[in-house]
Amino acid sequence: MISAEARPYIDASVPVLREHGLAITRLFYRNLFNEYPELNNIFNMGNQANGSQQQSLASAVFAYAANIDNPAALAPVISRIVHKHVSLGIRPSHYPIVGEHLLQAIQHTLGDAATPPLLSAWAEAYGLLAQALIDEEHRLYRQSGTEPGSLFDMRVTAVQKQSALVSSFTLVRADGGAVPNFVPGQYVSVAVSLPGGLRQLRQYSLSDAPGKSHMRISVKREPAGAETPAGMVSNWLHDNLVVGSILPVSTPCGDFAPAAGSGAVVLLSAGVGITPMISALNHIAATNPQRQVIFAHAARDMLHHAHRADIARAREVMPNLRTVAFYEDAAAFAADDAPPAEIIAGLMDTDKLAAWPLADTHVYLCGPIKFMQAQWLSLIKRGVLPTRLHREVFGPDMLDHLL
């Protein structure tokens, strides 16, 4: 708990951080990477280049200051950070380095306003937050039986095109051991060495059910935009992984659990956000095929709708599964393709889905941020309680709901 002396300084910092948070975290990362260039191999240089990680760390610091008396609001944020950190191999010895650079960046950006009591209040707050993260990360490393930074070498046994841009890679342990257990919705970090020597880690949700001799990831090739470069790792995986390749992956992490429980469940996804939902669907098909499931997916068209074969297989064994596909262009499909679902033209509109019992049905969302914001608002309007809504973000979380 933060001390009575430090407390007023933290409270007074909230508006200041709101104004200067991004400047602080930008300076923080610049100095950190200058002094510790080896951290380039742990941090996501794509997220650094597009600014999302700086924004996410700034948001976490605000969220902490703004909710210092509200552990219930902070708990899910801490859980997400801890899982991400464990998948990346963050260790306790990293924390003082980050803390020192964060305080220096606060001091430099705020100038005279960064008085000694304000800096010591933040040193105390950082220390408390860091210890909470270190303790939770220690628990997760122990639970998974892995050391920070250790990776499993996995061998690719199949590469399968799942849609115009998404291919899946089936992986087994290269040493013949059992694949690590996981919960549908969890992801692994994969490590690749890029030309030029930079090592990069990226997270990919596991896209098949647990309990098999293999695990599977499904990766969307991120093409270059008019002003943005092509994605580094996704393109590398598509261009280089073939049957027999070795891919180092982390222990499974993440607290998104779309197959949890046994009651009715609604799974809503867009684009490559379908991957954790397919893991959940395959798991439910194998373990509880009578379960009531609404599975709705939004895609540009059928050619961009990944994992249609998994959905078709689930439909064969799940009498209470309702599948709906929202296609922006409902006319584009290959001649031999059977529709995977009832097709509705246009963007996802949850009002067009069959009604479900609102009180105890959990709804899971995964897709681009704009998609999730739109569904979140329309579901709340429909009467879904926020406690029944869960989402997975495929990038650093902006924590906007806490600010």
Ligand X SMILES: Cc1cc2nc3c(=O)[nH]c(=O)nc-3n(C[C@H](O)[C@H](O)[C@H](O)COP(=O)(O)OP(=O)(O)OC[C@H]3O[C@@H](n4cnc5c(N)ncnc54)[C@H](O)[C@@H]3O)c2cc1C
Least distance in angstroms from the C-beta of 83 to ligand X: 8
How many residues bind ligand HEM (CB under 6 A)? The answer is: 24
What kind and span of H or E run contains 191? strand 187-193
229 binds ligand X (CB under 6 A): yes
Q: Which of 125, 232, 306, 389 binds ligand X (CB under 6 A)?
A: 232
89 binds ligand X (CB under 6 A): no
40 binds ligand X (CB under 6 A): no
205 binds ligand X (CB under 6 A): yes
Least distance in angstroms from the C-beta of 53 to ligand HEM: 4
How far apart are the two ends of the chain, measured CA to CA in Å?
A: 21
Residue located via tokens 């039986």: 145
Stretch that binds ligand X, among 8-16, 26-34, 215-223, 280-288 (CB under 6 A): 215-223
Region label for 149, one of left (φ > 0), alpha (ψ between -120 and 50) or beta (otherwise): left
Active site residue 95: yes
What kind and span of H or E run contains 318? none
Binder of residue 49, out of ligand HEM, ligand X, none (CB less than 5 to 8 A by kind):
ligand X
269 binds ligand X (CB under 6 A): no
Phi, psi of 232 (to 5 degrees): -70, -55
Which of 9, 29, 95, 364 is catalytic? The answer is 95
DSSP structure class, residue 282:
H
Stretch that binds ligand HEM, among 90-98, 104-112, 260-268, 281-289 (CB under 6 A): 90-98
For ligand HEM, give the closer residue by CB, 137 or 208: 137
Binder of residue 98, out of ligand X, ligand HEM, none (CB less than 5 to 8 A by kind):
ligand HEM
Could you count the other beta carbons within 10 Å of the beta carbon of residue 186? 25
- Output the CA torsion sign for 326, 331, 336, 342: positive
Contacting ligand X within 157-176 (CB under 6 A): none
- Output the CA torsion sign for 14, 15, 18, 23: negative
Contacting ligand X within 360-399 (CB under 6 A): 394-395
Report d(CA 165, CA 303) in Å as an integer. 9
Structural tokens at position 128: 């408390």
Structural tokens at position 193: 């060495």
Which of 137, 141, 187, 392 is catalytic? The answer is 137
191 binds ligand HEM (CB under 6 A): no
Question: Taking a C-beta distance cutoff of 8 angstroms, is the pair 161, 155 a contact?
Answer: no
- Output the CA torsion sign for 328, 329, 333, 338: positive
Report d(CA 250, CA 16) in Å as an integer. 38
Q: Which of 14, 16, 130, 286 binds ligand HEM (CB under 6 A)?
A: 130
Structural tokens at position 374: 């739109």
129 binds ligand HEM (CB under 6 A): yes
Report d(CA 22, CA 77) in Å as an integer. 19
Report d(CA 151, CA 86) in Å as an integer. 11
Q: Which of 47, 107, 120, 245 binds ligand HEM (CB under 6 A)?
A: 47
250 binds ligand X (CB under 6 A): no
Active site residue 327: no
Question: Taking a C-beta distance cutoff of 8 angstroms, is the pair 86, 137 a contact?
Answer: yes
204 binds ligand X (CB under 6 A): yes
| Active site amino acids | 95, 137
**Binding stretches for ligand X (CB under 6 A):** 44, 46, 49-50, 187, 202-205, 218-220, 222, 225, 228-229, 231-235, 254, 272, 275, 394-395
**Binding stretches for ligand HEM (CB under 6 A):** 39, 42-44, 47, 53, 56-57, 60, 80-81, 84-85, 88, 90, 94-95, 98, 126, 129-130, 133, 396-397
